[in-house]
């Protein structure tokens, strides 16, 4: 977790992740629906399936989830489920993060009310960056 403290605004939190498309392709080939259901919500799966480059879209969502876990400072462990973090698109196409479960509890403790995420792709990689303000001084 990368963070900068500003006493007037709170703590700026940032997480970033890079995902190799073949890694996601291999997981889908090896575990198919079991992997998809464990990591992605129904809405995320539908979004990927509706696009010709579904692996690219899944990799972007996976990178965003990893970036959010880095942002909250936990990584994937304990009671955290991959589907606690859902990445959906707004009507303008901008990715938006929705939290639930254990990740939502952690974010609430940190005073995080909104997370901004950006996802980009190259020929073989997806990169996601997540940024939020933590309003609690005690982290």
Report the pLDDT value the prediction gives residue 47, as an integer from 0 to 100.
96
> Is 20 a member of any domain?
yes
With beta carbons less than 8 A apart as the criterion, state whether 60 and 18 touch. Answer: no
Residue 34's domain comprises: 2-134
Number of structural domains (the chain) is 1
Instruction: Give the β-pairing of 115-121 and 10-20.
Output: unpaired
Q: Which residues contact 18 (CB under 8 A, 6 or more apart)?
A: 63, 125, 126, 127
Phi, psi of 132 (to 5 degrees): -155, 165
Mean pLDDT of the 35-62 span: 96
* Tens digits of residue pLDDT in 60-104: 999 999 999 999 988 777 889 999 999 999 999 999 999 999 999
CATH (domain of 84)? 3.90.470.20
Task: Please check whether residue 18 lies inside any domain of the structure.
Answer: yes
119 in Cβ contact with 17 (< 8 Å): no
Grouping H, G, I as helix, E, B as strand and the rest as coil, residue 49 is helix
pLDDT of 126 reads: 97
The average confidence (pLDDT) of the chain is 91
Threshold 0.85, pTM exceeds: yes
Specify if 68 maps to a domain. Answer: yes
Half-sphere exposure of 37 toward its Cβ, with a 13 Å CA cutoff? 4
Question: Within a domain: residue 139?
Answer: no
Q: What is the pLDDT of residue 113?
A: 87
Q: Which position has the token pair 């291999």?
A: 26
**Residue 31 predicted with pLDDT over 80:** yes
Residue from 70, 56, 53, 119 nearest 90 by CA: 119
Only one residue has tokens 């690219």, namely 56
118 is a domain residue: yes
């Amino acid at each position: 977790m990368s963070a900068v403290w500003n006493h007037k605004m709170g703590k700026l939190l940032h997480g970033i992740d890079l995902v190799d498309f073949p890694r996601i392709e291999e997981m889908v080939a090896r575990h198919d629906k079991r992997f998809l259901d464990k990591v992605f919500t129904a809405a995320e799966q539908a979004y990927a399936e509706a696009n010709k480059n579904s692996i690219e879209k899944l990799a972007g969502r996976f990178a965003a989830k990893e970036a959010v876990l880095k942002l909250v400072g936990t990584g994937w462990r304990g009671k955290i489920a991959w589907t606690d973090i859902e990445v959906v698109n707004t009507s303008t196409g901008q990715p938006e993060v929705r939290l639930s479960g254990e990740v939502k509890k952690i974010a609430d403790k940190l005073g995080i009310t909104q997370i901004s995420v950006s996802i980009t792709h190259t020929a073989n990689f997806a990169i996601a960056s997540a940024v939020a303000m933590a309003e609690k001084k005690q982290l």
